[in-house]
Amino acid sequence: MSGSPSFGSHVLRFASGSLVSKVFGYARDAAMVAFFGAGWLSDAYYAAFRVVNIFRRTVGEGSVNAAFVPALAAEKNSGREREFFSAAWTLALGASALLCLAAFIFRRELVLLTARGFADDPALLGLTVLLTAVLLPHVVLVAASALLQGALNAEKRFFLPQAAAASFSAAVLAYLGLAASPLGADFSMEQKIIGLAAAASASGLLQCAILLPAAARAGYLPRLSNPLANPAALRLLAMSLPALLAAAQDQLSLLVNAFFASFMEAGSITAIYNAARLTQFPVSLFAAASAAVALPSLSGGLLQRDPDKFRATLDSAFRLTAVIIFPATAGLTALALPVTRALFEHGRFTPEMSALTAAVLACLSAGLAGFAFNKLAASVFYALGDLVTPLWLVGLQVALNAALCFALAPSMGAPGLTLATSISSLAAGAAFALLLARRVRGVFRPGLGAFLARTLAASAGMGLACAGGARLMSGFHPLLSAALLVPAGVWLYFLTLRAMGAGGARELLGLRRGEEA
């Protein structure tokens, strides 16, 4: 290997680990809807999971990305990272346990707040409240594993922390296999979905067990200490409070959607959940990867020490994100129905459910650029020590999303809810770009605009070609259509970019010869 790995190489490692997790995740979701269908049982589970997930994303991954990694990077400069890690570990466990206790006490109120439409169905409401209680311990385990993940990321180790998240899906898949076997024959479907929540909740133990040895080898052996005696831990607590909400932007928007969807036809919440999972694929693989890799690199006063390196790192992140997100937007919009049918239309998941999910997916895909850029821009502000700007922008975005839901839901139903999320996220992205340009002079380097124009043009051409191909292959099996059209679209996109002079896939992804991916 010549030289140190490039930014693109680190992103590819992160993305490869995420890919492992996502593949397991889609297998889990497909098995889930095949086993339970897309009706009141799955709506209850996903409504409960959405309540828990908002805490999981904020207390867990959100706090790591927003506050912990920059703080750990600063402590490494002074050689106090081990003491800080122990204090942060204790703080995370204590805070997440208290949060879970409060959520358990007010679990019914939380469900009514997020799925008010369930109030008219006592059985549905009761099951959702019970599932919420069973899932809540998972938040504590995720907080523990998130600190291990953040420590490894700070050491530029990205693959294992992301791949370890597959343990959640592996536990659910193992449980569904048992539930579908003769061992589950004597249990009702309601009992089986409660068991599913228990398996999902306990999966965090497996994730911690996977990460602990690697963290210990890196010098981050978890132990309890007094966080009140560590000034850096106290600063972390103060920094985390605004960062937690800002990091949960997409979850807050989807929580608003779930609230409105609870008043709609059965299966609407499930359709929104499955569509969100599909759009998270490109966002998690590259946008979140670029943000996570950039965060430790940009932290520690890099803008003051080496402003050119700061801007160059950001430029790489912008280009990597755009080269994946733009074609993903076009592809998911054009191929929403065949992809949905290929992934989910099995078992109890009907063609009508596929049609609803595809419409929701197409509307949600329109906002992919906003989702992706917001994650990256927020990470820049976190690296600069500014946690307030992302917070109030997220607040405005969620408020706009709710207002648009009111306007679009009556005429469009569930697809109108995700269209509202897309529009509000794009608006937040525009605001982030304006504020970022003011905060960091020259943050958008010359040539970036031309690069974005080429990727947009190539993505539009690919989307039109995929839409035409989907129409021609409408009579084929959806799995065959997706298997042919998705790789053909990817090939056409990169071929078009090369013809425009943007370079091949290796150059576009920031991987130069001689560097190990």
Do 94 and 103 contact (CB within 8 A), yes or no?
no
Confidence tier at 147 by pLDDT (50, 70, 90): confident
The pLDDT assigned to 11 comes to 67
Confidence tier at 193 by pLDDT (50, 70, 90): very high
The model's pLDDT over 431-478, given as tens digits with 9 standing for 90+, comes to 999 998 888 888 888 888 888 898 999 999 999 999 998 888 877 877
Alpha carbons within 13 A on the beta-carbon side of 117: 18
Confidence tier at 348 by pLDDT (50, 70, 90): confident
Q: Which of 135, 136, 116 is nearest to 125 (CA)?
A: 116
The pLDDT assigned to 1 comes to 41
Do 307 and 314 contact (CB within 8 A), yes or no?
no
Q: Measure the CA–CA gap between 397 and 442, rounded to whole angstroms.
A: 26
Q: What are the structure tokens assigned to 173, written together?
A: 């898949």
Q: Measure the CA–CA gap between 111 and 116, rounded to whole angstroms.
A: 7
Q: Which of 327, 325, 353, 329 is nearest to 340 (CA)?
A: 353
Do 335 and 246 contact (CB within 8 A), yes or no?
no
Q: What are the structure tokens assigned to 238, written together?
A: 């103060």
- Beta carbons within 8 Å of 264's beta carbon, 6+ residues apart: 117, 409, 413, 414
Terminal Cα-to-Cα distance of the chain (whole angstroms): 10
The pLDDT assigned to 60 comes to 58
- Beta carbons within 8 Å of 442's beta carbon, 6+ residues apart: 311
Confidence tier at 513 by pLDDT (50, 70, 90): very low
Lowest mean pLDDT among 191-200, 321-330, 373-382, 412-421: 373-382
What is the mean pLDDT of the segment spanning 321-338?
89
The model's pLDDT over 221-230, given as tens digits with 9 standing for 90+, comes to 888 888 777 7
Q: Measure the CA–CA gap between 432 and 430, rounded to whole angstroms.
A: 5
Would you kindly state where each structural domain of the chain is located, as residue ranges? 36-245, 248-509
The model's pLDDT over 194-222, given as tens digits with 9 standing for 90+, comes to 999 999 999 989 998 999 999 888 888 88
- Average pLDDT over the chain, rounded to an integer: 82
**Is pLDDT of 292 > 90?**
no
Name the burial class of residue 253, with classes exposed (0-12), middle (13-18) and buried (19+) by CB atoms within 10 angstroms of its CB. Answer: buried
The pLDDT assigned to 2 comes to 45
The model's pLDDT over 403-428, given as tens digits with 9 standing for 90+, comes to 999 999 988 998 999 999 999 999 99
Confidence tier at 517 by pLDDT (50, 70, 90): very low
**What single string gives the DSSP state of each residue in 90-159?**
HHHHHHHHHHHHHHHHTHHHHHHHH-GGGGG-HHHHHHHHHHHHHHTHHHHHHHHHHHHHHHHHHTT--H
The pLDDT assigned to 329 comes to 92
Q: Measure the CA–CA gap between 35 and 176, rounded to whole angstroms.
A: 8
Highest mean predicted confidence (pLDDT) among 112-126, 152-166, 302-316? 112-126
**Is pLDDT of 497 > 80?**
yes
The pLDDT assigned to 36 comes to 87
Lowest mean pLDDT among 46-50, 62-66, 411-415, 456-460: 62-66
**Is pLDDT of 81 > 90?**
no
Q: Measure the CA–CA gap between 86 and 101, rounded to whole angstroms.
A: 23
The pLDDT assigned to 434 comes to 92
What is the mean pLDDT of the segment spanning 241-252?
62
Helix (H, G, I), strand (E, B) or coil at 446: coil
């706090």: which residue's tokens?
63
DSSP secondary structure letter of residue 38: S
The pLDDT assigned to 323 comes to 84
